[in-house]
Amino acid sequence: KNEVEQSPQNLTAQEGEFITINCSYSVGISALHWLQQHPGGGIVSLFMLSSGKKKHGRLIATINIQEKHSSLHITASHPRDSAVYICAVRFRGGADGLTFGKGTHLIIQP
C-alpha cells in the first residue's frame, strides 16, 4: 500500500527554536506537497516540490528522491507558526489526487 509517514506527530517548542518535521513515503512520486492547517480548519499549500530545495521566508522544504524523504524546516519559530503541518504526495501511477500523512501538530510557546 502506498503510504506517507510523518514525524513527529506532536511537537512543542519555544519561540525562536529551529523546527524540523520529517516525511517519508513508500514508492516513487511525481510531487510532494507541504500544507499548513490552522485551528479553524483552512488548508494552505506551503510548498510543492519534486527535487532539491525551496525556501519561502522562514520556511524551507527539502526532498531526497533516492531516500524517499522530505523535511520541512522553520527557522526562528514564532507562536503564529503553531498549526498542523501535513505532508502529501502524488504517487506515480496512482489515482490522481494526493495521499496524505497524518500531520504534525506544532505548538510554539512564547
Partner 1 sequence: IAGITQAPTSQILAAGRRMTLRCTQDMRHNAMYWYRQDLGLGLRLIHYSNTAGTTGKGEVPDGYSVSRANTDDFPLTLASAVPSQTSVYFCASSEQAGTSSYNEQFFGPGTRLTVL
- Compute the distance between CA of residue 68 and CA of residue 110 in angstroms, rounded to an integer: 34
Which of the ranges 16-24, 34-42, 53-61, 62-70 carries the binding residues for partner 1, by CB under 8 A? 34-42
- Compute the distance between CA of residue 59 and CA of residue 80 in angstroms, rounded to an integer: 13
- Compute the distance between CA of residue 11 and CA of residue 56 in angstroms, rounded to an integer: 21
Size of the site for partner 1 (CB under 8 A): 23
Binds partner 1 (CB under 8 A): choice among 103, 104, 106, 108:
103
**Closest distance to partner 1 from the beta carbon of 18 (Å):** 26
Q: Using the rule CB under 8 A, is 41 a contact of partner 1?
A: yes
Residues 6+ apart with CB under 8 A from 4: 23, 24, 25, 26, 87, 88, 89, 99, 100, 101
Q: Using the rule CB under 8 A, is 27 a contact of partner 1?
A: no
Q: Using the rule CB under 8 A, is 100 a contact of partner 1?
A: yes
Residues in touch with partner 1 (CB under 8 A): 30-31, 33, 35, 41-45, 48, 86, 88, 90, 92, 95-103
